[in-house]
Structure 1
């Protein structure tokens, strides 16, 4: 039997008879498999990690606001006496887009339930804002569009609503205690956050402006114009797309990074598959 002799050409090709890979070539393929496996795992881990991180950051920044309604009659917000036992309802009308540096509001996005009332919210005069607030309050009361209802002022004349996303909110006094019937106020808008010298404040306090009127005879609870006398508590609506408007800028960067990493991982797997097929 003649011994098998490997010539220079056979050795240099790294193949045995029949085209099967030698031990050296199999070792090289295993190393390629290992490298690609590690690369794909790293990319997938980064993709999975970045996405929830961005989502959590957005959730935290999107619901960190609060609104305190401070109702006082017979004077200004600090000098009058507290109006105890009045009921307020609040509607989330529009999301806001913050400047890149977070020092102001660059735009508003009216939410779907109030699209018919869409306006250039940042350009309204006081009279225009007052008219729009009354119109939306009437609509919200008739169609159950309040996000927060039956919020009653306590002994200090205040009530606080927490977990609010940045946006434009309508505040309406929908129930009036008997002792407070001579004080009247119109619905009004509040923006979260507020800004002072470029500094943002997500814990906003709003003081309704009251007009003192003669006390008319009537029921002990008087609904304000455009409001339902006894609002039914409803769960807050989930903020729509307008929420990411501003905090959106940050979250979108995380999402884009996750998508890019996922695409790289897919491309790496594809290249690896093609190399394996060639081998």
Structure 2
């Protein structure tokens, strides 16, 4: 019984240690990559030296750099990066300036669902499943170029077929040129006003591209399914609390530069 207790205790401390090491590695990786218009998020402990309140928070790396710049009046971002990396093990930072604390959303951020999220992570095997999203994105990248090549081949085939009978109209030339971009499938089918000749061209195009389009959409639909199952629905329910908890497992999220939406980035090795 005593031996079992010792073993369980060792396992517990190993798990805690691994979690701490993963947090440190994740923090370092995010800081080294720096800030951008699509910043990654990091977890750190902040002390408000005005009130002595200490709180673990999650914030985007751009806000962290800016908060430290405001606090220390340092304009050299390389120096800021060096300081943050130097303190990656503890990830404890002290701030006094009101503007810096506001930039970190210190007063408003609150962890509410840690236990529920931990149980969810274990139950749904989230950490081991998130890399499936990365693999599917890589597959889609390959399929995208294959699909683009297929589109160009079909466009050339249609173009040659018409030209054996007559010259292409200016409208047909423009449509065939535009259709190298997937957006124009929707544009010409649903939105643009085109002649009957243009409509006939689109009918031929739709028929020939359909099987390739369906194949490509299978892969994008699978990505949507994976992202929803292992990230989006949990983020919708728990918000930043979800990103906060999984950070210690090496999971990195970022904010989309176009719409500000949170996105899964990667799980570090």
Greater Rg by CA: 1
TM-score (norm 1): 0.23
Which structure has more strand as a fraction of its residues? Answer: 1
Which structure has more helix as a fraction of its residues? Answer: 2
